[in-house]
């Protein structure tokens, strides 16, 4: 078995009960909505199709390619699933994938599965579909570029949510968790973006009808665009804040009563805690974050163009 666990799957024991339950509740509500919507819009034939698409996402996560220094890029698949299958079906498919990974392979825990589904199944789908939906009528190149950005952002959103959950549970120090998670996933996200864009462009070239079907039944268009943009804004604004000025986020959590629920011990900054590669003011890191996003956008546009030419 060549199944290798991915770094975003939180095992049991790493989140406390409060955080686990909160995210189970959010996840159950979202899945409930997805079930209601798909039951209404899908025929009996669609269910086996979704099951096999879930197996496809699971299997596609095994396709990897060497990036550099022994690390390899591979797919998480949330954005791809959302674009190909639509948002609600995408959520159910990702939920099934994460459920089987947790139940059968112990990749990700059971009590924390709500959080895992939220991070990897719901956030990624919302961003992936929201962005893609906003350029539904544009050229193929634009669609591919936006899909690439969405794929990168979806991984970053999942990583940020994971870091915040670990911090709220008192398992990890906020600053370290956010910086470590985001810097690792900034690279993993590039792999995600490359594979997502190339896979989509392949499908555009060979079976464009499959992608047309999804757009015809565009469900709740505007809302998804809004959701995708809002989540991405939160990622872009919150992550520099959390990594450069953790006390600010700490303050918010204390004011909202989160910290009592989550953490039993208050946070203490390690003496001489500085990171040379990041500025100390929140502003400079926000700028860095925006520049990073723009660079990815540029790469994605170039990749989209070159792929379009070859087709």
Partner 1 sequence: MHSDAFDRYHESNSFVHRLDPRVKVIVTIAYILSNALLPDGAWLAFGLSWLFLLFANALSNLGVGFTFKRSFIALPFALVAITVLFSIPGNPISTFRFLFWDLTITDMGLLRFESILIRSWLSVQMAILLVATTRFPDIVHALEHLRVPTILTTIIAFLYRYLFVLVDEVFRLLRAREARSAAVAGVRAGGSVAWRGRVAGNMAGQLFLRSYERSDRVYNAMLARGYSGHLNTINPHEMRRVDYLTTALALIVILLFQLVGRL
Stretch that binds partner 1, among 170-178, 221-229, 233-241, 283-291 (CB under 8 A): 170-178
Phi-psi region of 274 (alpha: psi -120 to 50; beta: other; left: phi over 0): beta
Task: Show the binding pattern over residues 270-289: x = contacts partner 1 (CB under 8 A), - = does not.
Answer: xxxxxxx-------------
Q: Which residues of 180-209 are buried (b: 16+ CB within 10 A; e: fewer)?
A: ebbeebbebbbbbbbbbbebbbebbeeeee
Q: Give the number of other CB atoms < 10 A from CB of residue 280.
A: 10
Within residues 42-71, the interface with partner 1 by CB under 8 A covers 44-45, 47-56, 58-60, 62-68
Minimum distance of partner 1 from residue 224's CB (angstroms): 20
Contact between 26 and partner 1 (CB under 8 A)?
no
Give the tokens for residue 18.
């409060």
Determine the Cα–Cα distance for residues 122 and 154; give it in Å rounded to an integer: 10
Identity of the residue, 64 or 140, whose beta carbon is nearer to partner 1 in the bound complex: 64
Within residues 189-248, the interface with partner 1 by CB under 8 A covers 190-191, 194-203, 206-207, 210
Identity of the residue, 93 or 160, whose beta carbon is nearer to partner 1 in the bound complex: 93
Identity of the residue, 14 or 218, whose beta carbon is nearer to partner 1 in the bound complex: 14
Q: How many of the chain's residues bind partner 1 (CB under 8 A)? A: 100
Determine the Cα–Cα distance for residues 87 and 218; give it in Å rounded to an integer: 9
Minimum distance of partner 1 from residue 173's CB (angstroms): 4
Within residues 84-143, the interface with partner 1 by CB under 8 A covers 84, 92-93, 95-97, 99-100, 102-107, 109-111
């Amino acid at each position: 078995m060549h199944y290798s666990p991915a770094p975003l799957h939180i095992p049991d024991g790493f989140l406390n009960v409060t955080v686990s339950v909160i995210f189970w509740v959010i996840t159950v509500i979202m899945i409930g909505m997805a079930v209601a919507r798909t039951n209404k819009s899908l025929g009996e034939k669609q269910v086996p199709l979704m099951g096999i698409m879930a197996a496809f996402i699971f299997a596609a996560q095994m396709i990897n390619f060497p990036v550099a220094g022994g690390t390899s890029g591979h797919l998480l698949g949330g954005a791809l699933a959302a674009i190909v299958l639509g948002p609600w079906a995408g959520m159910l498919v990702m939920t099934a994938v994460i459920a089987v990974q947790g139940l059968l392979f112990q990749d990700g825990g059971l009590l924390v599965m709500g959080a895992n589904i939220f991070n990897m199944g719901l956030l990624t789908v919302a961003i992936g579909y929201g962005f893609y939906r906003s350029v539904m009528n544009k050229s193929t190149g634009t669609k591919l570029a936006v899909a690439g950005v969405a794929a990168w952002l979806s991984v970053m959103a999942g990583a940020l949510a994971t870091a915040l959950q670990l911090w709220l549970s008192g398992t990890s120090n906020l600053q370290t968790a956010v910086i470590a998670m985001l810097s690792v996933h900034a690279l993993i996200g590039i792999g995600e973006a490359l594979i997502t864009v190339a896979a989509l462009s392949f499908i555009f070239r060979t079976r464009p009808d499959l992608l047309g079907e999804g757009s015809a039944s565009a469900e709740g268009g505007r809302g998804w665009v809004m959701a995708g943009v809002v989540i991405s804004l939160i990622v872009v604004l919150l992550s520099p804040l959390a990594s450069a000025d953790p006390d600010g986020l700490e303050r918010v959590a204390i004011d909202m009563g989160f910290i009592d629920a989550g953490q039993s011990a208050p946070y203490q900054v390690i003496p001489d805690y500085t990171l040379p590669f990041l500025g100390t003011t929140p502003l400079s890191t926000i700028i860095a974050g925006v520049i990073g996003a723009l660079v990815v956008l540029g790469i994605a546009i170039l990749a989209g163009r070159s792929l379009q030419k070859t087709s």
